[in-house]
Chain A
């Protein structure tokens, strides 16, 4: 049972826009920024979005993040086949005194 809640799966067709939600509480998302990680099949996770809505250099602007209250979301526009991966949200938790992850969302490009 993960501290942050994500839908287990999401899907879309090439070119479509998809969003993945991440729900938490006051002790994590409600008081800290959210980060998103992309894990392509068989590889290590990679930072995708940090500080809720910032993209590291090299990450396409098709990826965007937002946060409101105790929830966050990741949006992917212009969906491409190479976006098929697992996506994880994470945030620092003030009560647990450590970072917490969502359970992950498997994105399928149909």
Chain B
């Protein structure tokens, strides 16, 4: 079983502040790295799917970077808003074996108004 780790486990951020968190994954046999946002009582929704080393993706105030050689991805949120409160999940797709994704345990973000 592949090891995908996210840190921190939880985070409280003041509204308006910026924040970031980390996803660590195996640096060998990389194929894809996904980020999902999971709000309470809703479905997890995809934020980004990243495949290339050095890739940077942006959606509004949220952005992500990818380093496949060292096995990490950062998710950044600029100017946090209450609607950003959610659990953020990353998922690693290996180039070896079948096409399943391995998820991290998530970072639970709470924005304090």
Same complex = no
| Chain B residues close to A by CB (< 8 Å) | none
